[in-house]
Amino acid sequence: MRLAVLLSGRGSNFASIHEAIAKGRLDAEIAAVISNRADAPGIQRARDWGYDARVIDNRQFPNRAAHESEIRKVLDEARPDIIVMAGYMRLLSATFVAAWMNRIVNIHPSLLPSFPGVDAQAQALAHGVKVTGCTVHFVDEGLDAGPIIVQRTVEVRDDDSVETLSARILEQEHIAYVDALRILAAGNYVIEGRRVRRMK
């Protein structure tokens, strides 16, 4: 399974996927890493590890279509099976999503459909939920929508801050993303409406 990773920042999910591949826990290959930010620590890691790492800065394009068309050129070369959004802070257009239907995945730091959008961990704290977590899902044209592949739960503690809660969720994200990609690599699943079901 060939992967293209899209990121904008730290890149810890990308790092955990890299490590799972390096240690033989995930049968996949990272064909390209694309960042919309030149200063993303994740793109530096990608270079250090010898990946085809590209910065395609959205601010240098007149509009979303022009930016995405540049991304698509890299993807056409890299020929990924799956596009992995790992902290990619840009919305993809409906046209882009349609072109890669059921082949783009994202991770979100809440149990969707609760708390989509930015600051999901702060939303969870503000709402007072006792359990939150993370979700790996296929990307459709909605915001943090799309069929769910894996979720992992995290208990909210009375003394949690956004930082402490985010850190515990992030640990689970790293496990969840690799688990989800293992399911995709094995290929033994069907998408029926919103349900992703594994076949025996």
Interface ranges with ligand GRF (CB under 6 A): 7, 9-13, 42, 86-87, 107-109, 170, 173
Out of 18, 67, 108, 174, the active site residue is 108
Phi, psi of 93 (to 5 degrees): -70, 160
Nearest approach in angstroms of CB 169 to ligand GRF is: 7
Nearest approach in angstroms of CB 76 to ligand GRF is: 25
C-alpha 38/C-alpha 82 separation (Å) is: 23
Alpha helices in 39-192 (DSSP H): 41-48, 64-78, 94-99, 120-127, 162-186
Nearest approach in angstroms of CB 113 to ligand GRF is: 15
C-alpha 7/C-alpha 131 separation (Å) is: 27
C-alpha 130/C-alpha 51 separation (Å) is: 40
C-alpha 127/C-alpha 123 separation (Å) is: 6
Which residue lies nearer to ligand GRF by CB, 42 or 147? 42
Q: Find out whether 156 and 138 touch, Cβ atoms under 8 Å.
A: no
Which residue lies nearer to ligand GRF by CB, 109 or 147? 109
Nearest approach in angstroms of CB 63 to ligand GRF is: 24
Which residue lies nearer to ligand GRF by CB, 153 or 188? 153
- Please indicate whether residue 18 is annotated as part of the active site: no
Chain residue whose CB lies nearest ligand GRF: 87
Which residue lies nearer to ligand GRF by CB, 67 or 137? 137
CA distances from 181 to 26, 32, 48, 94, 137 (A): 7, 16, 23, 23, 11
Catalytic residues: 108
